[in-house]
Amino acid sequence: MINLHVSDILECISDIVIDAHLDSQSDLRITGITDKSNDVKPGYLFFCRKGSQFDSHEIAPEIVKKGAVLLITERFLQIDAPMVVVSDSRLAEALIAKNFFQNPSEDLTVIGVTGTNGKTTCSHLFHHILSKFGSTGSLLGTVFYEILGVSRFHHDNTTPGAIEIMSAMQRTKQNCGEYFIMEVSSHSLAMNRVEGVKFDIAALTNITRDHLDFHSCFEEYSRIKLHIFDLLKDNGIAVISDEFEHLLQKRVNKIVYGTSRKCHYRIEDVDVNKVRTDFTIETPQGTFQACIPIPGIHNAYNAALVIASLAEMGYSPRDIIEALRSFDGVEGRFEYVKEASLVGFDVVVDFAHTPDALEKTLVTAKHLTTGRLITVFGAGGMADKGKRPLMAEVASKLSDVVIITTDDPRGEDVDEILSQVESGVIPDTPYLVLRDRYEAIETALTLANRGDMVLVAGRGHEEYQIFSKEKKIPFKDSEIIRSIVYREYAKEMKK
């Protein structure tokens, strides 16, 4: 059984302890750690913290009644129970979890990918290629978590809390896993969720506008993203594109990919069609022809990041590129809804929900269609409001018809969100604002003619539309599209 004693915990968080209120019996064995009240059992340590919507310090008496033997708190509580007051409960969680689960990242090859866009595709590429090479491991990402190929499930956070990360790593290690791949969000870096992790590869895809509702400014957002490179192992490798490598001032083993002459791994001659992206890549081991079976110039960059990382780990570029050819893509990332061919035009679902991601997706879509491009998109609530008109500007610049609709309002006023998005539409752009997302998609499909492309952006793989804490409805863009296509096709057959 994994466990620590209270004295071990005090030692590993000594730098952030403000005060400790312990009795003569306090060097007890801790049998579990959690920050979730429903998970508390006798012998557990519980982390109290004040969140944006709930303060778990308020339920400390209930936690003690459940059998918690130690509380980690952010302030002194008038309660008869052992507690340690710390300056940062989340950092304490990361440090304690690292020790409780016996520092599992030291015994695994750990790959972390951060960046505004591209994290999911890169993480899945790593997982696919390493699996092709016969290695076993785990993946924590936006679309699903997979622990040694066994557990696949969606999660609310791109990067979970420190306890969940360390537990998943420990299970991977105990079951003879070799690698651990994770998407690393700016929230997780800012909130110390990954402070207990040490990376063999830390990779940055890009930094463009996002999450400025959470970060005070773009400069802070960039600084937080770059913090991943502070978490490298002593022999770890930083992998970064040529566009952003000037931001990385820290002295680390830095590998640069991109299109400029200064790159260690240089992309050339990119060619995109509906089913693949071909490109040439110059590497220290030679020049190779590569293909990733999904469209988009940005996917050549994603592939180059992965090729560079794995080649620097000692794998043959030729073998990496061969494994790349069998990649199936990622659900909700420039995903063709194949059934749309029944009605004679293309429909694509994509997760793009930032101005930069939407622009890259639209550029690809525009390149791949011979007809009009009809774009359906919205903006999520309780998120960066400044990006809303920017997304509309991008959409109206690159689309022939724009339909603005609801994304995930998350408690915000829907009409206000739509108005803020609409304010960015370029004059003379043909556009509609349709509050109901089903109606918006249905209208786009009705407007489309043979040879056109409909792009439904913003939600990708997501299976629920979140209107508020109390209202969450099943809604998956690709399934809605299929149902409408089948209905319209049946009508055509009856004529």
What pLDDT digit, counting tens, does each position of 279-337 carry?
999 999 999 999 999 999 999 999 999 999 999 999 999 999 999 999 999 999 999 99
Q: 369-388 burial string, b = 16+ CB within 10 Å, else e? A: beebbbbbbbbbbbbbbebb
Determine how many CB atoms are found less than 10 A away from the CB of residue 274.
Answer: 15
Q: Helical H runs in 430-476? A: 437-447
Distances (CA, A) of 216 to 223, 339, 390, 395: 11, 44, 19, 26
Is residue 374 helix, strand or coil? strand
Cβ pair 85, 98 in contact under 8 A: no
Cβ pair 165, 112 in contact under 8 A: no
Cβ pair 378, 418 in contact under 8 A: yes
Chain-centroid distance of CA 106 in Å reads 23
**Angle in degrees, 0-180, between the axes of helices 119-132 and 297-312, rounded to the nearest 10:** 50
Domains assigned to the chain? 4-100 (3.40.1390.10), 104-324 (3.40.1190.10), 335-494 (3.90.190.20)
- pLDDT under 70: residue ranges of the chain: 1-2, 24-26, 151-158, 209-216, 489-490, 492-495
Question: Can you give the pLDDT at residue 199?
Answer: 97
Name the burial class of residue 463, with classes exposed (0-12), middle (13-18) and buried (19+) by CB atoms within 10 angstroms of its CB. Answer: middle
Is residue 227 helix, strand or coil? helix
Is residue 220 helix, strand or coil? helix
Beta bridge partners of 277: 272, 292
Question: Can you give the pLDDT at residue 151?
Answer: 65
Helix (H) or strand (E) holding 454: strand 453-457
Determine how many CB atoms are found less than 10 A away from the CB of residue 75.
Answer: 14
Q: What are 203's two structure tokens?
A: 């990779």
Q: What are 361's two structure tokens?
A: 């997706």
Cβ pair 65, 81 in contact under 8 A: no
Is residue 139 helix, strand or coil? strand
Which residue has tokens 């033997």?
69
Determine how many CB atoms are found less than 10 A away from the CB of residue 199.
Answer: 25
Cβ pair 67, 1 in contact under 8 A: no
Question: Can you give the pLDDT at residue 1?
Answer: 53
Q: How many CA atoms lie within 13 A of 303 on its CB side?
A: 34
Determine how many CB atoms are found less than 10 A away from the CB of residue 491.
Answer: 10
> What radius of gyration do the chain's Cα atoms show?
24
Q: How far apart (Å, rounded) are the C-alpha atoms in residues 485 and 488?
A: 5
